[in-house]
Structure 1
Amino acid sequence: MDFTLDPAFDDLRLMVRRFVADHIVPLEDDRANYNEFENIRLDLRDRMRGKARDAGIYAPQMPRQRGGLGLPMVGQAAFYEEANRSIFGPSCLNCAAPDDGNMRLLSMVARDDQKDRWLQPIIDGQVNSSFVMTEPHPGGGSDPGMIQTSAERSGDKWIVHGRKWFISGAAVAKHFILVARTDPNPDETRRHLTAFLFHADQPGWRIVRRIDNMGPDEHGGVCELEFNGLEIPDENRLMEVGDGLKATQIRLGPARLTHCMRWLGLSKRCMEIAAEYTSRREGFGIRLADRESVQLKMGELAHAIQIGRLLVMHAAWKLDQGDFARKEVSMAKVHVADTLHKASDVAIQLNGARGYSKDTVLEWIYRYARCARIVDGASEVHNMVLARFYGKEGQDFWNWGG
C-alpha cells in the first residue's frame, strides 16, 4: 500500500490551492458577489472560469481532447478537496454538482455526436445541466426502480408524462438528462427505465416551482417539474432502451464520491477558520487555543477528516481499477457527510456569535452541510447497503484484497 500522491497530481493540487487562495476566497467577503440564492453570481463565476482555464486548472474530470485535465479519480480527490476550500471554488473550476456528474456520465456513455451536442457546451461553460430522476411519492427517490414518469414510444420519438421534484440546477439548466419508465411491467432484470436528453426550450414540460429550502442553493436550486407530452426524438435517447437504471448507477456512484471530496475541503476550511480565531481570542487570561477543551474538539475534527480522506482515496482507487466500489463509496458518503456537519458545528461553537453571524462563511457551510446526509442517498440507505454487504460477505467484509 502506497499513499504517496503522484507528483503530477500533487503539483496540480498546489496550483489549485494557490489559485483558490488568491482569486476565489477573497470573493466571499463581498456580498455583491453573491446572487439572491447565496451562491456566486453567474457572470462572476464565468469570468473566474476563464481565469481557471488560463491557469490550467479547469474541468479536471473531463478528457484533455475536450478541454479538461483527464484526471483519474485519485487525482480528482486531491484536486476537488483543494477546490472546495472556498464555497465558490468547485463552480469556478467546473467541478461542481450537478454538472460534474452529468458531464461524467455523458463522457462515459454518450455517442460521439451526442457528446458534441450535449456534453461539450457544459464543459465549455456555455450551458448548465440537470439530472432529472427523483420523484414525489410513490415515485422513485433513493430507489430509482420505483420511477413512475413514463416515456411511451410513438414512431421515432418518445412522449413523456409525469412529475419530478428536487431536481438540482433545473432553474438555470439548458441540457437535461431524464430517467423515465419505458416498460410498464418490469421483470426481475429491472430494465424498465431508459435515459433521455432534452433541451430546456422544448415544449411539453414546465418548472412547477423552485422549492424553497434552508439553502444556500446551488445554481438553479432544486425544482419540481411537470411533463405533459414532452416529445424526445429517439436519437436523443442515452444508451439502449432499458439501460436507465444502469445510467443512474454509472452516474451516482462517482458523483457521491466527488461530493465527499468537496466536503472534505469544506471541513478543512471550517477547521482553518476555527484555528485562526481561537489562536488570537483570549478569555479569562488564556487563549482559547490553549484550552484543553478546545484542543480536544480540534483533535477530534482532524481525526475525522483524515479518516474521511482515507475512505475517499480508497474508493477513488477502486473506481480507477474498474470496480464499482459500492461498499467503499457508501462508507465514505456516510462518514464524510457526518464529518462536514460536525466540522461546521464545532467551528461555529468555537467562533461563538461570530460563527453564527454572516461575518464568516461558517453559517453558510453549516446550512449546506445539513443537506449532505440526504443528497445522493440518505445516510440510512447507505448504512442499509453496508449491512447487506456484511450479510453476504461476513468476515470477508474487511478483506485486504483490492
Structure 2
Amino acid sequence: MDFTICPRIEDFRLRIARFVEDEILPVEANRAAWDAHGNIADDWLDALRDKARGEGLWCLQLRPETGGQGLCKVGMSVCYEEMNRSIFGPVVFNSAAPDDGNMMVLEQAATDAQKARWLAPIAEGRARSAFAMTEPHPGGGSDPGMMLTTAKKQGDRYVIRGRKWFITGAGAADHFILLARTSDDPRRGLTAFLHHRDDPGWRIDRRIPVMGPEEHGGHCELVYGGLELPADRILLGEGLGLKLTQMRLGPARLTHCMRWLGLAKRCMEIAQEYAANRHGFGVRLSGRESVQIKLGDLAMGIEVGRLLVMKAAWALDRGSFARKEVSMAKIHVANLLHKAADVAIQINGARGYSQDTVLEWIYRYARQARLVDGADEVHQMVLNRHWVDEGRGFWAWEPGVE
C-alpha cells in the first residue's frame, strides 16, 4: 500500500496552506468581514477569490477544460483538508458545498449545451447553485423513493408541483438541480431538472432558522406551484434521477469529510495553543495528564478519519461507488468533528464558549454533520446491509496483480 502523494498534489497543498495562513485567516479574524449569518461577506470573498484565481488555486476538483486543475479524489482529500483550516477556506477556492457537488455532477452528467449554460457560470464564480431534493414529511428525505414532488408532462413541457425544504444555498442560488417524480416506477420514477431562479412558477417560502452558521443562501423551504420547464432542462435523462443522486451524493459526502477533517485539526490547534500557555494551580494545562489524554485521543481519531477518507477516495478514483467506504468515513468524521469542537471548548473553558475563537462556530456547525447527506443511522444500516450480503468478505483486501 502506497501512502505517498505525488509532487504536484504536495505543491498544491503547500500553496493552499500558505494562502490560508497569509490571506484567509487574517480575514476570518476580522469580524467586520463576516455577514449576518456567520459566513464571509461577499465583498471580502470576492477579493480573496480573485487572489486564489491568480495563484492557480481555483476549482481544483474540475477538469482543465472546465476551468479546473483536474485533481483526483485522493488529491482533493489532501487539498480540501488543508483548505478548511479556516472556516472560510473552501468557499474562497470554489470548493464549498453545495456548489462543489453540483459542479462535479454537472461536469459528469450534463450535455455540452447544458455545461455552457448551467455549469460554466458556477465554475467561473459568477453564479451559485442549489440541489433541491429533500422534502417535508411525508415526502422524500434519506429515502428518495418517498418523493412527492411531481413533474407532469404536458405537450413538450413538464409542469412541476411540490415542496422542498432544507435546500442549502437556495437563498443565494441562481441555478438549481431539482428532483421530481415523473412516474411510479420504483427505479426509474425520478428525473432531475435544471432551472433558474428567474423561472416563474416557484418561490422560496422561507429561510429556515437553524442552530448553526450557514452557507451563503441558508437552508430554505421552496414551493413549486406550476414551474414549467422544457425537455432540454432534463439532466442525464428522464427516469434517471435516482442514478444522478447516486452520482452526486457519494462524492459529495466524502468531500464533506475532507473539509471536516480540516476543521477538526483547527480545533486541536486552538486547544493545544491555549493549553501550552494557560497556567492553573501552578501547572501548565498542557502538562496535565487529563489534557494530554484528550488531545492524544483526538489526534488518533483524526488520523483514523484521514485513512477512511483516503480509502474511499482511492476507491472512487478506481471507478467504484465506494458506498460502504463513504458511509464509514461519513459516520466517523461527522462524530469526530463534533467531539473535536467539544474537547477544544472544554480545554479553552469560557474562552472556548465565547466568540473570541471560532470554536463555538465550529461546534454549532458540527451538529449538522451527523444529519446532512444521510444521518448516522442511515449509513449504519447501509453498512449492515453490506455486511449481511458479504459476510466475512466485508473486510477482504483487494488482491493486486503480480
Q: What's the TM-score once normalised by structure 1's chain length?
A: 0.98
- One-letter code aligned to 2:34: Y
* Match status 1:203 vs 2:187: no
Choose which of 394, 398, 401 in structure 1 pairs with 2:395.
Answer: 398
- Does residue 307 of structure 1 match 2:304? yes
Per the alignment, residue 137 of structure 2 pairs with: 137
Aligned residues: 399
Partners of 1:215 and 1:46 lie apart in 2 by: 24
Stretches (4+) displaced over 4 A: none
CA distance in 2, matches of 1:51, 1:285: 47
Which deviations, in whole Å up to 9, do the C-alpha atoms of 1:146-202 show, x marking residues without a partner?
A: 11100011122110000000000000000000000000x224xx1000000000001
In structure 2, the residue matched to 1:22 is 22
2: CA distance, partners of 1:20 / 1:361: 15
Check if 1:59 corresponds to 2:59.
yes
Give how far 1:65 is off.
1.6
After the TM superposition, which residues 378-389 of structure 1 pair with which residues of structure 2 at under 5 Å, given as runs?
A: 378-389=375-386
User: Once the two structures are superposed, what CA deviation does each residue of 1:314-354 show, in whole Å capped at 9, x if it has no partner?
Assistant: 00000000000000000000000010000000000000000
Query: How far 1:29 moved relative to its partner?
Result: 1.6
Q: Secondary structure at the match of 2:174?
A: strand
Q: List aligned pairs for 1:83-162, cutoff 5 A.
A: 83-162=83-162
1:151–1:159 contact (8 Å) kept in structure 2: yes
1:262 match: 259
Q: Aligned residue for 2:41?
A: 41
Amino acid in the other structure paired with 1:246:
K
- Structure 1 CA distance, aligned partners of 2:128 and 2:42? 10
1:179 is aligned to 179
Among 273, 278, 285, the residue aligned to 1:276: 273
Gaps of 5+ in 2: none
Within 2, Cα distance between the matches of 1:318 and 1:280?
43
Q: CA–CA distance in 2 between the matches of 1:215 and 1:47?
A: 26
Pair 1:340-2:348 in alignment: no
Do the aligned partners of 1:62 and 1:69 also contact (CA within 8 Å) in 2?
yes
Cα separation, 2, equivalents of 1:351 and 1:49 = 32
Give the percent of matched residue pairs that are identical in Structure 1 and Structure 2: 62
Counterpart CA distance in 1 for 2:33 and 2:230 is 40
Please report the TM-score for the alignment, with normalisation by the length of structure 2. Answer: 0.98
Distance in 1 between residues matched to 2:34 and 2:249, nearest whole Å: 29
Shift of 1:294: 0.3
Say what the alpha-carbon RMSD is for the aligned residues: 0.7
Aligned-partner residue type, residue 351 of structure 1 = N
Displacement of 1:102: 0.3
1:43 Cα deviation (Å)? 2.1
Partner of 1:238: 235
Query: Post-superposition shift, 1:250?
Result: 0.3
Query: CA contact under 8 A between 1:46 and 1:125: conserved in structure 2?
Result: no
Distance 2:395 2:8 in 1: 31
Q: What is the identity, as a one-letter code, of the residue corresponding to 1:168?
A: T
Summarize the alignment of residues 317-396 of structure 1 with structure 2, pairs less than 5 Å apart.
Answer: 317-396=314-393
Q: Distance in 2 between matches of 1:67 and 1:240?
A: 25
Cα distance per residue 1:230-254 (max 9 Å; x no partner): 0111111101110000000000000
Matched AA of 1:83: M
Distance of 2:247 and 2:361 partners within structure 1: 31
For 2:266 and 2:276, locate their aligned partners in 1 and report how far apart those are by CA, in whole Å: 15
